[in-house]
């Protein structure tokens, strides 16, 4: 069928040239046939195009080259026909390359659309004027609105009032930082009216050639945020529930230790002392858990005061020395002035550092704790 269509196109071109013979003349016998080669190559394929060249050569020789009505040519005419054939083949090659490029682009476009439709992330492209120019179909999976609906919504329409100013300010700062990327955690109003937590990754590609846009990927992280909050609440509740009986246990242990000391029972005193130290370690662990929950909740409060750091480290070392018989904690301090900070929190940090040193020196031996003043910085080793 394609070859029949090719033959038909060459026939139509020949009839037109013959009908308008006086107007077209003989100076351009190949012009319309080039058109048939392009059409055949573009829509019918290479085979019909080559077939069309062969038919058009016969038509040109028979109708438009002297002697007319005969399939005979001279030397100059043969050169003309050869040039026509070469040029027609080049047109077929160019057309074929265009066809391949078009098919490849269509395939990539379909693949891109499929990825965008199946993606769990919503993708939005915003131009330099703040106007949305593209929304992936997957935005409906995140916020309930179709891509067409979301494109029509005013900018920031779905933002939470308590976070809107902060998000706008961060977005504005990002637009001034070419090539930078920013991750935002914020709330958006779903089409069903509920507030959902969304994590957005926004990239500034305004200066990127061919893009010139801000690109945002965002997905619904409500379940993750709720799970994290439940975990924080659980840690806080469990820590408080454990801390209360352990505090009482420590108090009873101290009372028991005093009574044992009065009876001068060194063996029982040693056991009671170790029990007290273990209780301290449990309380420290629980306090650490409470601090983690407090930090995650953004409610950590610092009690800033002036104190002697060397004296504080000395107290911690004396306490930890009682927990080990295989290690010798050696102090080598420089003279320091009082510093400002949260004394309890710094004591926790120092305790963690020395405890780790004891833990990871299982064979025992000396552990040196030294302080050094370097210009405006204080270094502990």
User: pLDDT of 20-47, one tens digit each?
Assistant: 776 655 556 677 888 888 888 888 888 8
- pLDDT for residue 243: 61
User: How many residues can be counted in the chain?
Assistant: 381
Contact, 193 vs 99, CB < 8 A?
Answer: no
The residue to which tokens 């993750």 are assigned: 224
Residue 189 has a pLDDT of 93
pLDDT at 111: 72
Q: How many CA atoms lie within 13 A of 89 on its CB side?
A: 7
Digit-coded pLDDT (tens) for 136-193? 888 888 899 998 999 999 888 999 999 999 988 998 899 988 889 999 999 999 999 9
The predicted-structure confidence for 202-233, as pLDDT tens digits, reads as follows 999 988 888 889 989 898 999 888 887 777 77
- pLDDT score recorded for residue 160: 92
Model pLDDT for residues 266-287, shown as the tens digit of each residue: 555 566 666 666 666 666 666 6
Tell me, what's the pLDDT at 230?
Answer: 78
Q: Is the pLDDT of residue 262 over 90?
A: no
Contact call for residues 236 and 288 (beta carbons, < 8 A): no
Tokens 């990127």 correspond to 208
Closest to 143 in 3D by CA, of 108, 93, 194 = 194
pLDDT higher than threshold 90 for residue 81: no
What pLDDT does residue 326 have? 81
Give the number of other CB atoms < 10 A from CB of residue 310: 17
Contact 373, 336 (CB under 8 A): yes
Task: Dump pLDDT digits (tens) for 93-143.
Answer: 888 888 888 888 887 777 766 666 667 788 888 888 888 988 888 888 889
Contact 358, 327 (CB under 8 A): yes
290-347 pLDDT, tens digit each? 666 666 656 667 778 888 888 888 888 887 787 777 888 888 877 777 888 888 778 8
The predicted structure's pLDDT at residue 188: 93
User: Looking at residue 27, what is its pLDDT?
Assistant: 56
Q: Give the pLDDT of residue 29.
A: 65
Residues paired with residue 189 on neighbouring β-strands, in sequence order: 195
Confidence tier at 197 by pLDDT (50, 70, 90): very high
């Amino acid at each position: 069928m394609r070859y029949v269509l090719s033959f038909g196109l060459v026939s139509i071109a020949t009839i037109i040239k013959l009908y308008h013979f006086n107007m077209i003349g003989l100076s351009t016998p190949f012009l319309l046939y080039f058109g048939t080669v392009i059409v055949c190559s573009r829509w019918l394929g290479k085979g019909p195009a080559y077939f069309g060249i062969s038919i058009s050569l016969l038509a040109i020789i028979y109708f438009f080259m002297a002697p007319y009505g005969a399939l005979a040519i001279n030397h100059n005419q043969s050169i003309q026909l050869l040039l026509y054939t070469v040029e027609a083949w080049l047109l077929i090659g160019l057309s074929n390359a265009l066809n391949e490029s078009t098919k490849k682009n269509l395939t990539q476009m379909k693949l891109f659309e499929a990825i965008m439709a199946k993606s769990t992330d919503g993708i939005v492209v915003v131009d330099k004027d703040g106007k949305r120019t593209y929304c992936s179909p997957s935005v409906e999976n995140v916020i309930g609105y179709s891509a067409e609906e979301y494109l029509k919504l005013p900018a920031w329409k779905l933002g939470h009032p308590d976070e809107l100013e902060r998000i706008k300010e961060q977005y504005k700062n990002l637009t001034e930082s070419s090539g930078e990327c920013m991750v935002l955690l914020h709330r958006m109003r779903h089409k069903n009216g509920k507030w959902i937590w969304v994590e957005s990754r926004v990239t500034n590609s305004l200066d990127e050639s061919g893009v010139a846009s801000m690109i945002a990927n965002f997905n619904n992280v409500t379940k993750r945020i709720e799970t994290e909050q439940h975990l924080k609440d659980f840690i806080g509740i469990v820590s408080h529930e454990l801390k209360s009986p352990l505090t009482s246990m420590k108090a009873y242990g101290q009372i028991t230790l005093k009574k044992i000391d009065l009876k001068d029972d060194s063996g029982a005193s040693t056991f009671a002392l170790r029990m007290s130290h273990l209780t301290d370690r449990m309380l420290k662990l629980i306090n650490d858990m409470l601090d983690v929950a407090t930090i995650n909740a953004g409610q950590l409060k610092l009690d800033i005061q002036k104190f002697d750091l060397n004296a504080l480290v000395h107290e911690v070392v004396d306490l930890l020395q009682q927990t080990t018989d295989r290690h010798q904690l050696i102090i080598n301090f420089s003279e320091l002035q009082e510093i400002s900070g949260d004394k309890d929190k710094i004591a926790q940090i120092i305790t963690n550092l020395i405890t780790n040193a004891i833990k990871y020196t299982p064979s025992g031996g000396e552990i040196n704790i030294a302080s050094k003043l370097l210009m405006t910085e204080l270094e502990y080793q």
